[in-house]
Amino acid sequence: MFVHFRETNQGRSIFIGIESILKNALIIFFFFSIFNQDLYRVFPLLVLAVFLLSGINLIWEIKNKKMRYPVITPKILTIIFLSFAVSSVLYSIPLLDYFFWLLFLEHFLTLSIGILFILFSIPSDFYKDTQINKAIKKRSRYKNITVIGITGSYGKGSTKEFLYTVLSHKFNVLKTVSTYNTPIGIARTILSGLDAKKRVFIVEMGAYKTGDISFMSHMVKPKMGIITAVNDQHVSLFGSIDKIKKSKYELIESLPKEGIALFNGNNEITHKFYQKCKKKKILYFADYNNLGISADLRAFDIKENKFSLSFSLIFKNQNLGKFHVNLLGRHNVQNILPCIAVAHELGMNSSEIKFALSKIVPMEKTMQPFTNLKRVTLIDDTYNANPDAAIVAAEYMKVYKGKKIYVMQPMIELGKLAAQDHQKVAEIIADIADIFFVTNKNFLNYIKKGIEQADGVCDLRIATPKEISDFIVKNCKVGDVVVFEGKESALSLSLLDKDPVHGI
């Protein structure tokens, strides 16, 4: 919440936006009006004018699909109800002046909801601790299950889903579902799904501070650990890139002596982790340029089509032959490689792995392809937004010959690196895309600098979801591609008629 206030225009506008400034000015105006009857008579009209302005702005946001709604859960419903109840009670007992009280309470409603969240977290945390302790006890009863932990700044969700598909061909596998990558999410998975029939448990581990992954590892006792990649995503929450590194490496430190650690050789930080690690380890590497760089598992002769990838493999000096997967974007080779390595370590042969790979499909909202009635390709990459994901999504568009449109939500939680990250990402996008839509004005100056440094000619536009979707409908045709990056861009995609691409 504080990162949102500090780093984004939307967050800052809560306190220093036009509406907020007007309301603050009216609060000050009220105290002057107490001593002047003429001013006091004008005050209610000014309050009504400000609320009218807020109402018009709200209607505009709803009409243009800029309004974002919370995910409805019992907790959220309870907080909404309590916010409404407390506000209603307070509104009914105005202090000083009814119009002043209405203005004051509405202005500080955000703070009131924040306080309710904090208060509500006390019983919520107690419940979570109870469930986590139950899960730890249940996990301890299953000694023979192989637990595979997966963490990283990006790629961990896709890697988890791909690994589940591959291993399920031969084993009874349990995985953490959706975004259940927190202690309580893992606990719920254990309590609802772990039983004596399960042979493998794949656990995605997310973190927002050091110690999180260590605690989750204590819960599940992993025998294998995969670190997909590390970058500066969430650096605002951690405080520094060094703390992010420390947090991710906690997974490797938690492995037993006989455990196996897997590292992505394409990522500089995880490559250094591999060199540092003293346990049994595997380095996997996607050799996009066929440089012959040494790695335990190396993919080479990588070919990228619109909706598929093919590559050859060498694992521990043994040529495994050619592999094929129905995934978008060359970067996904890096998410497939640890799945192949783990499968081999668990006893699957090459033919079993190749068949299992044919069953893999894109993860929902992660380079997921759709087409509209005009056969324009629409790529849903709205699950998350970080610098590396934004770049690889842009690079994917190179396989298209038609118009290339990129829709992006400016990224958050990048801390001091936010400016240079947005500038770098914008420069790469501008070299590839014809039109670059951004969904808000966060870091806009740095995005413009990046476009100015690009070699290509790219048209930058700030637009509402409706304006973006209308443009696509009117101006795109068969052979064109549109990439939607980040959660806000999903609002534009939701306004379009679309069908999934069949056969993948």
What are the structural domains, with CATH classification, of the chain? 2-117 (no CATH), 144-357 (3.40.1190.10), 368-500 (3.90.190.20)
* pLDDT value, residue 170: 97
Measure Cα distances from 7 to 12, 15, 229, 295, 382 in Å. 8, 13, 24, 40, 20
Choose between 447 and 70: higher pLDDT.
Answer: 447
Tell me which residue of 402, 421, 427, 428 sits closest to 482, measured CA to CA: 402
Interval 171-179 mean pLDDT: 91
* pLDDT value, residue 489: 93
pLDDT band of residue 481 (cuts 50, 70, 90) is: very high
How far does CA 367 lie from the centroid of its chain? Answer: 13
* pLDDT value, residue 114: 77
Choose between 311 and 14: higher pLDDT.
Answer: 311
Residue 227 has pLDDT above 70, yes or no: yes
Choose between 94 and 374: higher pLDDT.
Answer: 374
Strand partners, 499: 371
Residue in this structure with the two tokens 């601790």, named with its chain if needed: 129
Interval 342-357 mean pLDDT: 96
Share of the chain above pLDDT 70, in %: 97
Give CA–CA dist 231/388, Å, rounded. 8
Q: Residue 405: phi, psi to the nearest 5?
A: -120, 135
* pLDDT value, residue 18: 81
Q: Residue 402: phi, psi to the nearest 5?
A: -85, -160
pLDDT winner (highest mean) among 66-80, 144-158, 223-237: 144-158
Report whether 484 contacts 407 (CB < 8 A): yes
Interval 312-322 mean pLDDT: 93
Residue 504 has pLDDT above 70, yes or no: no
Radius of gyration of the chain (CA): 26
Give CA–CA dist 73/76, Å, rounded. 5
Instruction: Please name the residues in contact with 492: beta carbons below 8 A apart, sequence gap of 6 or more.
Output: 65, 407, 437, 439, 465, 466, 468, 469, 472, 484
Interval 145-161 mean pLDDT: 95
Interval 372-392 mean pLDDT: 92
Averaged pLDDT score across all residues of the chain: 91
The 10s digit of each residue's pLDDT in 188-225 is 999 999 999 999 999 999 998 999 999 999 999 999 99
Choose between 408 and 39: higher pLDDT.
Answer: 408
The 10s digit of each residue's pLDDT in 260-289 is 999 999 999 999 999 999 999 999 999 999
* pLDDT value, residue 282: 98
| DSSP secondary structure code for residue 293 in this structure | -
Strand segments, DSSP code E, in 152-269 are 173-175, 200-204, 224-227, 260-264
Which token pair is 492? 């534009």
**Which range is least confidently modeled, 86-90, 138-142, 295-299, 379-383?**
86-90
CB atoms within 10 A of CB 197: 7
| DSSP secondary structure code for residue 363 in this structure | P
In the chain, count H helices and then E strands: 20, 16
Residue 233 has pLDDT above 80, yes or no: no
The 10s digit of each residue's pLDDT in 248-259 is 999 999 999 999
Residue in this structure with the two tokens 């225009």, named with its chain if needed: 9
**Which range is least confidently modeled, 130-134, 208-212, 470-474?**
208-212
| Per-residue buried b or exposed e for 288-324, using 16+ beta carbons within 10 Å of the residue's own CB | beeeeeebbbbbbebebeebebebbbbbeeeebeebe
How far does CA 276 lie from the centroid of its chain? Answer: 28
DSSP assignment of 243-262: HHHHHHHHHHHHS-TT-EEE
DSSP assignment of 341-355: HHHHHTT--HHHHHH
Residue 14 has pLDDT above 80, yes or no: no
Residue 503 has pLDDT above 70, yes or no: no
Strand segments, DSSP code E, in 382-475 are 404-408, 435-438, 459-462
* pLDDT value, residue 448: 95
Give CA–CA dist 365/385, Å, rounded. 11
Residue 178 has pLDDT above 80, yes or no: no
Interval 370-387 mean pLDDT: 92
For 43-46, which contacts have Cβ atoms below 8 Å and span 24 or more sequence positions? 43/97, 43/99, 43/100, 44/99
Residue 46 has pLDDT above 90, yes or no: yes
* pLDDT value, residue 1: 66
